[in-house]
C-alpha cells in the first residue's frame, strides 16, 4: 500500500517545521510519511525545539535541517507551510494534491533567559500541536470512509 507523503515547510527548517513533523508523525501513525524541509535551511535543529518536544515525549534529536529541493522529485501528496516566507517561496511538488498554510510565530527569535525562551517554544509547540493533531484526526477519519 502506498503511504501518502506530507511535507512541512518553513524557511529555516530549524524549529516550527520540526515541531510539526514530530507531532504529525506521532498523531498519524505508520500509514503516512511525514517530513520537513526549508527554503533556506539553517543547517541545524534548534536545541530548544528538541527540548520542548522531549517534554511531550517526542524525540526529534535525530532530525536534520534539509532543503526543500531535496523533495522536488518525491511524490508529495500534501504540502503544509508553517511560515509566510516558505509559503511564498514554495514550488509545486510532483503528485501534490493538497496545500495548506498555517502560520506560527518563530520561536527561534525568542529573547531573554533560556527559561523565557522555553516559554515561547512551549507556546508555539502547543499551538502547532492543536492544529496538527486536529488535522491528523481529520485525515484518519477521512481514511475510514
Render pLDDT for 11-42 as a digit per residue (tens, 0 to 9): 899 999 999 999 999 999 999 999 999 989 99
Provide the CATH number for the domain around residue 68: 3.40.50.2300
Asked whether the beta carbons of 15 and 24 are under 8 A apart, the reply is no
Give the cell for residue 50. Answer: 528538541
The number of folded domains in the chain is: 1
Rg of the chain on CA atoms, in Å: 14
Q: Please check whether residue 49 lies inside any domain of the structure.
A: yes
Q: State the catalytic residue, choosing from 42, 56, 89, 90.
A: 90
Contacts of 24 (CB under 8 A, 6+ apart): 6, 8, 32, 34, 132, 135, 136
Q: Please check whether residue 144 lies inside any domain of the structure.
A: no
For the question of residue 144 being annotated catalytic, the response is no
At 64-108, the pLDDT tens digits run: 999 999 998 888 999 999 987 655 666 667 677 888 999 999 999
For the question of residue 10 being annotated catalytic, the response is yes
Q: Please check whether residue 143 lies inside any domain of the structure.
A: no
Q: Please check whether residue 111 lies inside any domain of the structure.
A: yes
Residue 16 lies in domain: 5-136
Q: Please check whether residue 141 lies inside any domain of the structure.
A: no
Q: State the catalytic residue, choosing from 7, 10, 79, 82.
A: 10
Q: Please check whether residue 79 lies inside any domain of the structure.
A: yes
Predicted confidence band at 145 (pLDDT cuts at 50, 70, 90)?
confident
Q: Please check whether residue 128 lies inside any domain of the structure.
A: yes
Q: State the catalytic residue, choosing from 83, 86, 120, 131.
A: 83
Mean pLDDT of 50-74: 95
Q: Please check whether residue 54 lies inside any domain of the structure.
A: yes
Q: Which residues of the chain form beta strands (DSSP E)?
A: 5-10, 33-38, 76-81, 98-101
Amino acid at each position: 500500500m502506498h503511504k501518502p507523503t506530507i511535507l512541512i515547510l518553513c524557511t529555516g527548517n530549524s524549529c516550527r517545521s520540526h515541531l510539526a513533523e514530530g507531532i504529525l508523525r506521532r498523531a498519524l501513525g505508520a500509514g503516512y510519511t511525514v517530513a520537513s524541509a526549508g527554503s533556506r535551511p539553517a543547517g541545524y535543529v534548534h536545541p530548544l525545539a528538541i527540548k520542548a518536544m522531549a517534554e511531550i515525549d517526542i524525540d526529534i534529536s535525530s532530525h536534520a535541517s534539509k532543503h526543500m529541493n531535496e523533495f522536488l522529485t518525491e511524490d508529495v501528496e500534501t504540502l503544509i507551510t508553517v511560515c509566510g516566507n516558505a509559503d511564498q517561496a514554495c514550488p509545486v511538488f510532483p503528485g501534490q494534491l493538497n496545500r495548506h498554510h498555517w502560520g506560527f510565530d518563530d520561536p527561534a527569535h525568542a529573547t531573554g533567559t533560556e527559561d523565557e525562551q522555553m516559554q515561547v517554544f512551549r507556546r508555539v509547540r502547543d499551538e502547532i500541536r492543536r492544529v496538527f493533531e486536529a488535522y491528523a484526526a481529520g485525515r484518519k477519519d477521512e481514511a475510514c470512509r
